[in-house]
């Protein structure tokens, strides 16, 4: 089995992000791409010869959880800073730059965490990195170590009352560092700083545009697949829908879209997917719907561990596709809607594995296809939507909320049963209906109901109940890498709660999740 893991670096200028285990690695790349500059995340262990071969216009070193002076600390060779390529170190990356180049890093007398006022000093006001940035600006700090002495040749450009080196630079060598995180939205002028690094320091032109991506991808897919046949794993969500349409533009009827209804979809969703991609829909594709609910439930019986559930669902998806492929003849290619955060969160870079995805980490070791084709694996979610618009996909499909491949299987805590699926389907449908009826869905990145594994005592009528608790989730996010819990109107939550308890059998309590990402993920498992 081979994966389509090609890079856009071959035809575009690129900024390279070297990951030291920071939680914001994806966000850095996303912020760079907002400037129409292509960016990729790679492990910090990437060899220097590969870095040279990629010829990046700039390099960004991410944050990380460890101390640079620890015996087993992630590090970088001094030669990295001698390539003549501009480097920006962020948080751990800034401390690493100081440590490797002869400065001093030690435990800070006072740790800093959260929104912090940073003073850009006179040297900073002359810095390319801080051009157009206020002399006093709010930034996001998250550190217990600090740079106590800068390396030779460096100038301190910003500070806080307890952090003497909030930023430093050696402009002659194009080396820049910030102790704070310019990539997060809490750093008020962070986007300006990153834009300055990309354009003023690295000299990028900004040639990463969705139109050219679509044209090139269609051309490359047509050349790769030739006269072969492909199966598309279609869930009906944004990612798989865009993948299906871009493949149909490339190879037409050589593509068969297989929609596996695993019984873990939202209420009536299977019929909605068929209405769009089936024979009466607007797209000229081969469409097969497989009703495999019983098959998936049997595999999941007794399983409670989240990763195991994901992997079982992922493997069963593949086995269903293989069965279909045998019936329709030789199929060389399996098409999936994998996107860039799937790749990174599944641990294919330096970062810790947050969760496996059925279309990345959940694949079994053996797959009976020549190659897996993932035309969107370079894109973030909002870029996938832009790609869909470029392809002419209707807005109601393009702007649809994300839905995980394992479906309600990861919105049901603990064992999955048909009864639990029914509960969460009905509760979710009520929640979505009331939110949309109130117009409260505006600015929400995602909202859904999940079934906890908690049962509690309640009273309904004159009787005692011992039933499940439903948890409601609603988040605001622009990139799905960080998110804040939404403050839904209380009257909406009251109506939702009343309806769920009254209309959904087996539920006597409704909770609202106020946790952001991080520390939580958007999905429950």
Chain segment 117-142, per-residue pLDDT in tens? 999 999 989 999 999 999 999 999 98
pLDDT at residue 346 in the model = 60
And the tokens for 87?
């480097």
Alpha helices in 207-292 (DSSP H): 210-225, 238-251, 269-277
Identified catalytic residue from 91, 163, 202, 257: 91
- For the cut 80, the answer to whether the pLDDT of residue 353 exceeds it is no
The domains located in the chain, with CATH, are: 11-201 (3.40.50.880), 210-398 (3.40.50.620), 412-512 (3.30.300.10)
Chain segment 157-207, per-residue pLDDT in tens? 999 999 999 999 999 999 999 999 999 888 999 999 999 999 999 999 998
Question: Which of these, 58, 46, 54, lies nearest to 174 by C-alpha position?
Answer: 58
Strands in 371-373's sheet, in edge-to-edge order, are: 2-3, 371-373, 333-335, 230-234, 255-261, 286-291
And the tokens for 299?
């595999």
Give percent of the chain above pLDDT 90. 61
Query: pLDDT band at residue 411, thresholds of 50, 70 and 90?
Result: very high
Q: What rounded mean pLDDT belongs to the chain?
A: 88
- For the cut 90, the answer to whether the pLDDT of residue 414 exceeds it is yes
Give percent of the chain above pLDDT 70. 93
* 163 is annotated as an active-site residue: no
- For the cut 60, the answer to whether the pLDDT of residue 5 exceeds it is no
Alpha helices in 196-343 (DSSP H): 210-225, 238-251, 269-277, 293-300, 306-328, 340-343
Identified catalytic residue from 181, 262, 357, 358: 181
Q: How are the residues of the chain apportioned to helix, strand and coil, as percentages rounded to the nearest 5? A: 35, 25, 40
Q: How far is CA 258 from CA 46, 359, 425, 465, in A?
A: 37, 14, 23, 42
pLDDT at residue 345 in the model = 61
377 and 343 Cβ atoms separated by less than 8 Å: yes
Mean pLDDT along residues 205-234 = 90
Q: Peptide bond preceding 519: is omega within 30 degrees of 0, i.e. cis?
A: yes
Identified catalytic residue from 40, 183, 189, 374: 183
Output the pTM of the full model: 0.68
Chain segment 356-387, per-residue pLDDT in tens? 444 433 444 445 678 889 999 888 888 999 99
Chain segment 300-323, per-residue pLDDT in tens? 999 999 999 999 998 898 788 778
Q: Which residues pair with 89 in a beta bridge?
A: 61, 177
pLDDT at residue 358 in the model = 41
Q: Which range scores top for mean pLDDT: 56-60, 388-392, 407-411? A: 56-60
* 183 is annotated as an active-site residue: yes
Q: How far is CA 204 from CA 189, 212, 398, in A?
A: 20, 17, 30
Mean pLDDT along residues 472-486 = 86
Q: Which residues pair with 175 in a beta bridge?
A: 87, 170
* 139 is annotated as an active-site residue: no
pLDDT at residue 344 in the model = 66
Number of neighbours of residue 182 by Cβ within 10 angstroms: 27
């Amino acid at each position: 089995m081979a994966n389509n893991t090609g890079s856009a670096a071959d035809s575009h200028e690129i900024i390279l992000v070297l990951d030291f285990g920071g939680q914001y690695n994806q966000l850095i790349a996303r912020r760079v791409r907002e400037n129409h500059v292509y960016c990729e995340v790679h492990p910090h262990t990437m060899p220097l010869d590969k870095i040279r071969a990629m010829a990046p216009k700039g390099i960004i070193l991410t944050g990380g959880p460890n101390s640079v002076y620890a015996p087993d600390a992630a590090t970088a060779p001094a030669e990295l800073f001698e390539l003549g390529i501009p480097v920006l170190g962020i948080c751990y990356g800034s401390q690493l730059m100081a440590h490797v180049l002869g400065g001093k890093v030690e435990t800070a007398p006072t740790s800093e965490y959260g929104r912090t006022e940073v003073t850009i000093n006179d040297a900073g006001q002359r810095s390319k990195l801080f051009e157009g940035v206020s002399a006093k600006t709010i930034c996001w700090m998250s550190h217990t170590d600090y740079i106590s002495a800068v390396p030779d040749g460096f100038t301190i450009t910003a500070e806080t009352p307890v952090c003497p080196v909030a930023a430093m630079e050696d402009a002659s060598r194009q080396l820049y560092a910030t102790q704070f995180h310019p990539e997060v939205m809490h750093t008020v002028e962070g986007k300006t700083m990153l834009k300055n690094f990309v354009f003023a320091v690295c000299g990028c032109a900004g040639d990463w545009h969705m139109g050219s991506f679509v044209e090139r991808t269609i051309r490359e897919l047509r050349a790769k697949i030739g006269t072969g046949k492909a199966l598309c794993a279609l869930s009906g969500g944004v990612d798989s829908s865009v993948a299906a349409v871009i493949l149909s533009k490339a190879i037409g009827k050589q593509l068969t879209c297989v929609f596996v209804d695993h019984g873990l979809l939202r209420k009536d969703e299977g019929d909605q997917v068929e209405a769009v991609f089936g024979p009466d829909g607007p797209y000229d594709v081969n469409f097969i719907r497989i009703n495999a609910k019983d098959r998936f439930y049997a595999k999941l019986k007794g399983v409670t561990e989240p990763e195991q559930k994901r992997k079982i669902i992922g493997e069963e998806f593949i086995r269903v596709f293989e069965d279909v492929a045998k019936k329709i003849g030789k199929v060389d290619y399996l098409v999936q809607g994998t996107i860039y955060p799937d790749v990174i969160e599944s641990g294919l870079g330096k970062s810790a594995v947050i969760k496996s995805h059925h279309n990345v980490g959940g694949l079994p070791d053996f797959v009976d296809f020549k190659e897996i084709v993932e035309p969107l694996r370079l894109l973030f979610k909002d870029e996938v939507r832009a790609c869909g618009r470029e392809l002419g996909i209707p807005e109601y499909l393009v702007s649809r909320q994300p839905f995980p491949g394992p479906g309600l299987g990861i919105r049901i805590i603990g064992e999955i049963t048909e009864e639990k699926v029914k509960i969460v389907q009905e509760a979710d449908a009520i929640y979505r209906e009331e939110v949309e009826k109130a117009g409260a869905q505006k600015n929400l990145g995602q909202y859904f109901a999940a079934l906890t594994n908690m049962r509690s005592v309640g009273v309904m009528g004159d009787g005692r109940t011992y039933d499940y608790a439903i948890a409601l989730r609603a988040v605001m996010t622009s990139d799905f890498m960080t998110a804040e819990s939404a403050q839904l109107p209380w009257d909406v939550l009251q109506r939702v709660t009343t309806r769920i308890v009254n209309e959904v059998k087996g539920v006597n309590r409704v909770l609202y999740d106020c946790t952001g990402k991080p520390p939580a993920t958007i999905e429950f498992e």
